[in-house]
Copies of this chain bind each other. A is one copy, B any other.
């Protein structure tokens, strides 16, 4: 169930509440990514302390390793990883196309070799739904083909047609087998083509899902493409269902997508750049290994309430990162995850207070993206 609690009059931003059997999720919200059953370098205890409402698990990775026999033996993914709050699982589609080897796509599904041990595997729409059900997912995603960003119209259209046939099969399997109150979301594809995005959204809505994701945009792509994908999809999605942009984005990009009507996000950036020693701040990213931090006795960000900022200086963090001490990347991973979750908390508060327009303007103006994002 998805309730809309407030709207921003200046944009399409909404304050909502998505209810699942394992608890409600106040939206807009960011979902930390637990690819292989843990959020990289962050304890579950700390995720709880940071107020995490929902985490993401990657079906492809968990299917490959440890495998369903192990996860079934432990009573599902929640019990295996000791996480009792809601969990969203992706369908495995994106990873099959980005990680697996020797892929062969047929009407039936995708045959591939595991990137871990080369074992022959198959995932199709029904198997994806079956795996996600076995994992105990609270929000499952349909299995889609993910064409690469620069593909032409013809490839995108053919791919979309297959993805829509697969979406119908996912829905059919779900209706027949799934009785646990979990939800299933459709994924709008169509690459950079506005007409295909519309066709995709309308066809998915006709099939009928509990929520809708915008897929097929990677965090490395241009911000303009990212926003266009949302703008070309959102008008054709029902207002009373949650929207989710998969795998995106930077802090100001998330705020801009909220303004375009998006409710849910996941992204590996907070933990990935932390492992390179870079922290998120209100004013952009801070590469802590730089000499500028060497003698800095202040925290990553003044006023930040995370454990790293309450106790440790930039100079100390820089030392740990330069010396390749794990505690350094653990602290920055914690800070960055807090930063993302707290940003969404601030977005929700602004929507409740009716000050989102102002918040959006100030936040996006203050945040200076690094050159490569320009």
Contact = CB atoms under 8 A, between A and B. Distances in A.
A65 interface: yes
Given A322-B65, A330-B326, A82 B312 contact: yes
Given A74-B313, A315-B73, A316-B74, A325 B82 contact: no
B82 A316 contact: yes
Interface string A287-301: 000000011010000
B37 A330 contact: no
Interface residues of A, number: 40
A41 B323 CA distance: 13
A36 B295 CA distance: 17
Contacts of A45: 307, 311
A273 interface: no
A207 interface: no
Interface in A23-40: 36-40
**How many monomers of this protein are in the complex?**
2
Contacts of A330: 41, 43, 326, 330
A124 interface: no
A302 B61 CA distance: 30
Interface in A46-77: 61, 65-66, 70, 73-74
B80 A40 contact: no
A187 to B, nearest CB: 26
Interface string A317-359: 0111011011111110000000000000000000000000000
A42 interface: yes
Nearest to A333: B326
A38 B320 CA distance: 8
A315 to B, nearest CB: 6
A34 to B, nearest CB: 9
A297 B72 CA distance: 12
B74 A38 contact: no
A81 interface: yes
A70 B327 contact: no
B295 A70 contact: yes
A44 interface: yes
Interface of A: 36-45, 61, 65-66, 70, 73-74, 80-82, 294-295, 297, 307, 311-313, 315-316, 318-320, 322-323, 325-331
15 contacts: A36-B320, A36-B323, A36-B325, A37-B319, A40-B327, A42-B327, A43-B307, A43-B330, A65-B322, A65-B323, A66-B323, A73-B295, A74-B297, A82-B312, A326-B329
